Amino acid sequence: MELDMGKVITAKRKEKSWTQEQLAQAVGVSTPAVSKWETGATYPDITLLPPIARALNTTVDELFSYQNELSDNDVSGFTQKATSLYEAEGFDAGWNYCQKLLQEFPNSIPLKFYLGNLFQSFMIMKTDLGKEDIQSCYRQAAILYEEVLLSGYPKFTYHATLILVGFYTMLNELDRAEELLDSLPKLKTDPDFLYPSIYALRGKNEEAMKLTQENIRRYISRVSHGLSLLGAFAREQEDMDKACTLAKMNLEITKLLGISREIAYADMIKIMVARGDKEAALTYLEEYTQHILELSYDYAKSPVFNRVTEKFQDPSYVKKVLAQSILIDKEYTPLKEEPRYLQIVHRLRQVIDTQTHTFRE
């Protein structure tokens, strides 16, 4: 790790309004020696660190790392840059940047929390990741989130637990996943459903409507995932009629409310493929492709979600991920020789090849 000791010494010296000569006199070295420290040309002798720290009213620890505790803005900036690197330069660039930061700031619990699960969204774009590589990534991330839990940081405990449940499920360590779920508080009532009434009675109508919309958005997503899971069980039992009914229901609900319908489309296409109905599968796939091309997180015109702000404002990378997921999914293999499929592939590859924004310092 590259040390920024020279920058620390410079900053602390200027805080005292000292010249380099004054610091040199205080610790018994020459002025050029101080100059070399501050430019990074050399480091102070280890025996000089305590005198330098005393002279500058600081500690040896701070000399080695001025940012013992990262600010919220620091963490946010690092997270944004990591996300941009993943998007613009690929999985390896984002992953390596995150590892470097975590080594540089090993005591920052917020940094571990925000960087630890970024990789999941970008793995699909790296097609040469093998099963062992993927498990290694999840293992390293799980170690990070276990450290977050051990820290007792209340702000992150609940969400870190949920993330770990997902990681251990991916790693097929189901006992640990269930143990973590059992550790979560069992709420009989979601308080978010009670707040809107209180806000409304206090005349805070805007707050009441916004939270109500967020509640609907969150629970509709859960309903969509639940219908997809029921459909998956039906497919396993070879009850394709039931699976098809559930998938259609899911698609109609998500279309009606104007929310993401990726899961519902994928389910419908795979059911049609399993039934041998390639024409219907291709029709749904064409609709899905158009949905990807038109994907937007602007709900300004929605009567249900016009006060909801989505996490991803720029959908360009999400479009790439969805397009790539279709191209690598083996369940679409029976369609690959069809002319309509080749046209769809052409459109999807245009999405993948579109340049995303890059991070600028």
pLDDT over 80 (residue 361): no
Same domain, 146 and 280: no
Q: At 324, which CATH number?
A: 1.25.40.10
Residue pLDDT, tens place only, 88-105: 888 999 999 999 999 888
What local confidence, expressed as pLDDT, does residue 186 receive? 82
Instruction: Determine the structural domain holding residue 161 and report its residue range.
Output: 72-183
Tell me how far apart the alpha carbons of residues 42 and 124 are, in angstroms, rounded to a whole number. 44
Higher pLDDT, 106 or 206: 206
Higher pLDDT, 359 or 325: 325
Same domain, 101 and 207: no
pLDDT over 50 (residue 360): no
The overall average pLDDT reported for the chain is: 89
What local confidence, expressed as pLDDT, does residue 3 receive? 58
Q: At 11, which CATH number?
A: 1.10.260.40
Q: Which of 120-129, 176-185, 199-208, 282-291 has the lowest mean pLDDT?
A: 120-129
pLDDT over 80 (residue 320): yes
Assigned token pair, 147 = 């450290």
Contact 51, 9 (CB under 8 A): no
Assigned token pair, 355 = 């340049």
Same domain, 201 and 174: no
pLDDT over 90 (residue 124): no
Distances in whole angstroms, Cα of residue 199 to Cα of each of 196, 209, 211:
5, 9, 10
CA dihedral 315, 320, 323, 329 (to 10 degrees): -120
Same domain, 158 and 261: no
Residue pLDDT, tens place only, 240-266: 999 999 999 999 999 999 888 899 999
Same domain, 107 and 246: no
pTM of the model: 0.71
Assigned domain for 150 exists: yes
Tell me how far apart the alpha carbons of residues 58 and 52 are, in angstroms, rounded to a whole number. 8
| Cβ-based neighbours of 274, under 8 Å, separated by 6 or more | 235, 240
Same domain, 346 and 312: yes
Same domain, 170 and 203: no
% of the chain surpassing 70 pLDDT: 95
- Max Cα distance, the chain (Å): 87
Assigned domain for 360 exists: no
Same domain, 153 and 272: no
Assigned domain for 359 exists: no
Listed residues 135, 160, 183: the one ending a domain? 183
Segment 342-354 shows an average pLDDT of 91
Same domain, 31 and 94: no
Q: State how many domains the chain has.
A: 3
What local confidence, expressed as pLDDT, does residue 69 receive? 67
Assigned domain for 274 exists: yes
Assigned domain for 84 exists: yes
Assigned domain for 358 exists: no
- Under the banding of pLDDT at 50, 70 and 90, the label for residue 1 is very low
Same domain, 56 and 95: no
Listed residues 138, 157, 183: the one ending a domain? 183
Residue pLDDT, tens place only, 34-85: 999 999 889 899 889 989 989 998 888 778 754 556 888 999 999 999 999 9
Same domain, 10 and 105: no
Assigned domain for 361 exists: no
Same domain, 200 and 344: yes
Listed residues 126, 152, 183: the one ending a domain? 183
Contact 351, 323 (CB under 8 A): yes
